[in-house]
């Protein structure tokens, strides 16, 4: 029985083939897809697919995830907030490199959801983002 209680659903960490199956089979189509997105992990094919399907692209870890558990890291992992190009852009605008990453995400058309376990880290970044608006 359909009670009409669900209007919007979302997916997370889905591949294109899995999303295609969900879109084929779901009566209520996903409105959003959450995925890791930042300047060093852009996932262009998945991002384009999500945007073409008119889903909101929710980008978690928009400033990277250098603190992820060792089991989830590779030697090629890099932190966007330490990238020399991003650091130079931030210095030129007198903002934190994380703000550059978040602005990149917004201008790209995704909704970034930054987080930190350290309040001292996130509060100055939030202040800089607020000042840019």
Distance of CA 9 to the CA centre of its chain: 18
Section 106-131 average pLDDT: 75
Banded pLDDT at 78 (limits 50, 70, 90): confident
Is residue 133 classed as helix, strand or coil in its secondary structure? coil
16 neighbors 45 (Cβ within 8 angstroms): yes
**What local confidence, expressed as pLDDT, does residue 122 receive?**
67
Distance of CA 39 to the CA centre of its chain: 10
Residue among 80, 84, 83, 89 nearest 62 (CA): 80
Which tens digit of pLDDT belongs to each residue from 49-60? 999 999 999 998
Residue among 77, 76, 96 nearest 87 (CA): 96
- pTM, full prediction: 0.82
């Amino acid at each position: 029985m359909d009670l009409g209680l669900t209007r919007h659903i979302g997916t997370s960490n889905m591949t294109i083939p899995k999303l295609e199956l969900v879109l084929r089979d779901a009566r209520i189509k996903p409105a959003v897809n959450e995925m890791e997105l930042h300047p060093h992990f852009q996932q262009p094919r998945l991002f384009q697919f999500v945007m073409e399907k008119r889903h909101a692209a929710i980008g978690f870890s928009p400033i990277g995830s250098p603190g992820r558990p060792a089991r989830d890291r590779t030697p090629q992992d890099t932190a966007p907030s330490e990238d020399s190009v991003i650091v130079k852009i931030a210095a030129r605008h007198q903002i934190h490199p994380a703000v550059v990453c978040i602005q990149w995400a917004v201008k790209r058309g995704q909704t970034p959801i930054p987080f930190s376990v350290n309040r001292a880290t996130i509060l100055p970044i939030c202040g800089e983002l607020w000042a840019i608006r």
